[in-house]
Structure 1
Amino acid sequence: MRKSILLLTGIVSLFSFQAISQQVVLIPERTFSRDMGMNTAEREENPNIEGSKYIYENYQQAKLSTHPNILFNVRYNAYNDDIEVQGANNTSYALNKYGGTIIVTMLTGENYINSKYVDDKENIKTGFFEVLNTSGDFFLLKKQTVFVKEKEIAKTTYHKDKPAKYVKSSDEYYVKVNDLTANKIPKKNKEFANLFPQEKEAILSFIKSEKIKLKKEEDLIKVFKHIEKLRKDSK
């Protein structure tokens, strides 16, 4: 419990920082070390694949929980599931998502955290999620993924081949409890409400009255904010 409280406190403090006049640090190659929690990012690009691996192609300024007093240029590689940090001389590094909790706080407002999670095939993986909401020990997370759609060969001479391209999948939503493994949000209302035993009936009533759809991001955020209110009111 203490660990989860410290994690939540760290997230709140980083998410609420005010942008001040700071110089962005580009990590020089000579200072690269695994002690910094970074690995050399994959740089090879396939010229035969159109599109982008990144949610946003350009780097964005951000703070890292591992270096809270420094600004870095970062971007999320949704194909490799890596947060890349811009280095000097056209280099980049991928944060070590396996070494411990890393909170990435973008000046543009998005916030990412790494976590173990259970995928659709019941495999446990580790990756980065956008944090949409926190309510006590519960975290509402969004998984963004890019995949390669293979090249399509023209069926007739009247058509053209379609090159392979990077395509963004539909976003998926997860719930993380404390510092445990994140699991996909249940699609059924009762299964979702069961995650919050003390507020179960109130949540089901809210979902019904507000016509909540658990597959909609704005509705999920709305539910989590309501759960947070329920908990505050019960104190």
Structure 2
Amino acid sequence: MKKVIGLLSFLLVIGSLNAQTSGQVAQYTPGVGGETDGLYLNAMGSIADKLDKLDYTDDTIEGSPYQSNTFAPGQLFYGDENVGEIFYRYNAYNEEIEIKQKNTEIEPIRGLGKDKKIRLVANGKSMSFKTFVDKRGNTKNGYMTLVSDGEYKLYKHLKVTFKEAKKAENSLVKGSPARFSQSTVYYLESPDGKRLDEVQLNNKKLLELVDKSKQEDLKQYLKENKIKVNDVNDLNKVVNFLNG
């Protein structure tokens, strides 16, 4: 019963969004495809009202807001239920996953609903919408990819920033084009699942994110193995130790 109520709540939310953006009421009708097809279709909300954000065709702009500019296949899940295959690309600048039911030029592009029960699995990696806390203590929302699972979970987040073009002040100083810059930031989820904190690549800062009952053991592990955390390989070693 709880699953049915949750599913209906999800569909009502997505249906409402569709009605606002397309002018038509989206309806869930279990027909030939059954419950899965209904969920699949209603998870694909229109992004027609966001087309102004999607126009990155200016050839003078360097870089890209997308993880990949092309659509790739992935499996869509709602909770533990496999909804089916979609084609997607992740606009990290807008925190939007753009999806198509078919990977053709004429297929409309829609936005995936930002429901935390939705997961997108591609190449063995799971991506979902999360609330997280950055190193400055700011609470934000965005898409995270699970890197390492267990009691402690390690996620990565693609961060994209945009810098406006800068005109040359004079003939001696060159201008710079507009550009998107990408960087990967890692986050550690506590065992209770209540916090998802940015990991700073520093042993002392990392220890502060770990439960006090494990801090001394981790400190000793880092010392004995001469690990100075400075990349994802070191982070994986730490998470494997914590989950061991």
Q: TM-score, structure 2 length as denominator?
A: 0.69
Larger mean Cα displacement after TM superposition, 61-70 or 33-42: 33-42
Runs of 5+ in structure 2 lacking a partner?
A: 1-21, 29-38
Match of 2:219, SS state, is helix
Cα separation, 1, equivalents of 2:86 and 2:188: 28
Report the counterpart of residue 109 of structure 2 in structure 1. 92
Deviation at 1:188, TM superposition (A): 4.8
Match of 1:145, SS state, is strand
| Alpha-carbon displacement from aligned partner over 1:143-184 (angstroms, at most 9, x marks no partner) | 11111121021233366643212111x321111234423111
Match of 1:65, SS state, is strand
% of aligned pairs identical?
Answer: 24
Cα separation, 2, equivalents of 1:71 and 1:87: 8
Over the aligned positions, Cα root-mean-square deviation in angstroms equals 2.9
One-letter identity of the residue aligned with 1:93: R
Matches within 5 A, 1:1-235: 36-41=42-47, 42-43=50-51, 44-46=54-56, 47=58, 49-66=61-78, 68-87=82-101, 89-97=106-114, 99-106=115-122, 108-136=123-151, 138-157=152-171, 161-168=175-182, 170-177=183-190, 178-186=192-200, 188-194=202-208, 195-229=210-244
Cα separation, 1, equivalents of 2:179 and 2:76: 31
Number of matched residues? Answer: 197
Deviation at 1:192, TM superposition (A): 3.1
Cα separation, 2, equivalents of 1:33 and 1:128: 27
Say if 1:68 and 1:104 are closer, same or farther in 2 by CA, change over 3 A. Answer: same
Aligned residues of 2:66 and 2:89 also touching (Cα < 8 A)? yes
Say if 1:69 and 1:92 are closer, same or farther in 2 by CA, change over 3 A. Answer: same
Cα separation, 2, equivalents of 1:187 and 1:167: 20
Cα separation, 2, equivalents of 1:120 and 1:91: 38
Match of 2:165, SS state, is coil
Deviation at 1:102, TM superposition (A): 2.3
One-letter identity of the residue aligned with 2:160: V
Say if 1:215 and 1:82 are closer, same or farther in 2 by CA, change over 3 A. Answer: farther
Cα separation, 2, equivalents of 1:127 and 1:203: 29
Cα separation, 2, equivalents of 1:103 and 1:156: 51
Say if 1:149 and 1:186 are closer, same or farther in 2 by CA, change over 3 A. Answer: closer
Work out which of the two has the higher radius of gyration on C-alpha atoms and give 1 or 2: 2
One-letter identity of the residue aligned with 2:110: Y
Cα separation, 2, equivalents of 1:39 and 1:225: 38
Larger mean Cα displacement after TM superposition, 54-63 or 157-166: 157-166
Match of 2:149, SS state, is strand
| Alpha-carbon displacement from aligned partner over 1:185-208 (angstroms, at most 9, x marks no partner) | 255535533523333222111112
Aligned residues of 2:116 and 2:128 also touching (Cα < 8 A)? no
Q: Which has the higher relative contact order, 1 or 2, with Cα contacts under 8 A spaced 6 or more apart?
A: 1
Cα separation, 1, equivalents of 2:46 and 2:229: 38
Runs of 5+ in structure 1 lacking a partner?
A: 1-28, 230-235
Q: TM-score, structure 1 length as denominator?
A: 0.71
Cα separation, 1, equivalents of 2:159 and 2:205: 25
Larger mean Cα displacement after TM superposition, 139-148 or 193-202: 193-202
Aligned residues of 2:202 and 2:230 also touching (Cα < 8 A)? no
